[in-house]
Amino acid sequence: MWKKSPEPEEFRPQATPATQPSTAPAPKASYPQAKDYATIGSTISIKGDLSGEEDLLIEGKLEGKIELRRHCVTIGKNGRIKGDVFGKIITVEGTVEGNLYGEEQLILRQAGTVRGNIVAPRVALEDGSNFKGSIDMSPKEKPATAPQDKVATAAKSS
């Protein structure tokens, strides 16, 4: 079901940028290359929750919750997600029906479609992207030792 990509090809989960208090630096079309990430290919369909400890690129279909709170999650152009997504940096080029919780940043590319709510301190939505829902950029108290609690709190309050 999972496969390690030997080399980044077309898209690639991004390296973590420096945290800034504000939002939305102008998104670039190219991404920093990551050393390693997992891929769910375009022919793969998954029903169920997904969690892990590495960056992930999804080109297939997934119905369920994605939890990679300390890693980059990328929904590729062919990716179709029904469910909530938790990640450090979330990039959407495909379609998501669910809420997105980015610990650091959320990027919605021009080809991306989101029907749901976004909670992230930094949000970049490319013009032409398709989004309907709420965006919550208000800063949350960051717990010293439990970063996952922050998102859980945000989820409850949204």
Binding site for another protein (CB under 8 A): 22-24, 26-27, 123-127, 129-139
Shortest CB 62 distance to another protein, Å = 24
CA distances from 86 to 26, 28, 115 (A): 22, 22, 15
Contacts of 2 (CB under 8 A, 6+ apart): 38, 39, 40
- Dist. CA 16–CA 139, nearest whole Å: 19
Which of 56, 106 has the CB closer to another protein?
106
Q: How far is the CB of 12 from another protein (least distance, A)?
A: 22
Instruction: Give the strand pairing for 80-82 and 61-63.
Output: parallel
Tokens representing residue 51 in the block: 């969690």
Select 39 or 129, whichever has its Cβ closest to another protein. Answer: 129
Q: Which is nearer to another protein, 34 or 92 (CB)?
A: 92
Q: How far is the CB of 154 from another protein (least distance, A)?
A: 11
**Both tokens assigned to 17:** 């940028």
The residue count of the chain comes to: 158
Nearest approach, Cβ of residue 50 and another protein (Å): 26
Helix, strand or coil, per DSSP, at residue 66: strand
Residue closer to another protein, measured from CB, 16 or 130: 130
Pairing of strands 50-51, 66-75: parallel
